Amino acid sequence: MGPLLHPTAIIDPAAQLAGDVEVGPYAVIEAGVTLAAGCRIASHAIIRSGSVLDAGVVVDSFAVVGGLPQDLSFSPATVSGVHVGSGSVIREGVTIHRSTQPGGVTRIGAKCLLMANAHVAHDCQLADNVVLANNVMLAGHVHIGSGSFLGGGCGVHQFVTIGPLVMVAGNASITYDVPAYVMVVERSTVSGLNLVGLKRHLSSEVIADLRACYKAVYMQPGDPVKAAKTATAQTQPGRNFLAGFASTRRGRFSRSRRQQ
């Protein structure tokens, strides 16, 4: 069975499409695009040059994958791209910009869900199973750990790193690096551990250790970064949580709104 290509779709002959790819009406697939088996591109979606979509990726209407970075110093002659992992879903109106770096990629991991009108700027790196709710705004060079959920309308400053299994509240403003496993609300405020997410993925023993680590860092007087250096953990996730305070590109959240 050959690909199901609507006659009104514009597909460059230099694009590489697997045999069972579906492309809807008026969609645009540029040269240098690679669509793996099972990809489905809806009507009016645009996949620009340099984009690679792994198996089973779905791109909904009016989404643009691989658009030019919104960087005044960027040269369109730069060869870069976007890589979307297998099974990810890109809903309607989403924009994902290609990297500013020669040979670089903006990366979306496997089984991610980017809801309507989310924006992923150049050079962002999303791990597997990340969810961006409607209207999430990621500035350039943002890194997001696996299993994290970003609520609708939240904005993330450039070069911020968000750890795995983090829950970000809707309309939150994130301007500093976020430790793994926490919840974030309002403007750069940690409000506790993401217990709902942790219970889905980690044992009760690990969660108890993370509680102890969290309290050692956030529930004591003084600087949480300094507290993390002297705190101890009994499990690897706990050690990962503490180690996350040792390096940062934007500075760490230093406040907690409530105890956990």
What amino acid positions are annotated as catalytic residues? Answer: 122-123, 140
Cα 157 to Cα 18, 68, 108, 160, 231, distances in angstroms? 37, 19, 18, 6, 29
**153 burial level (CB within 10 Å; 0-12, 13-18, 19+):** middle
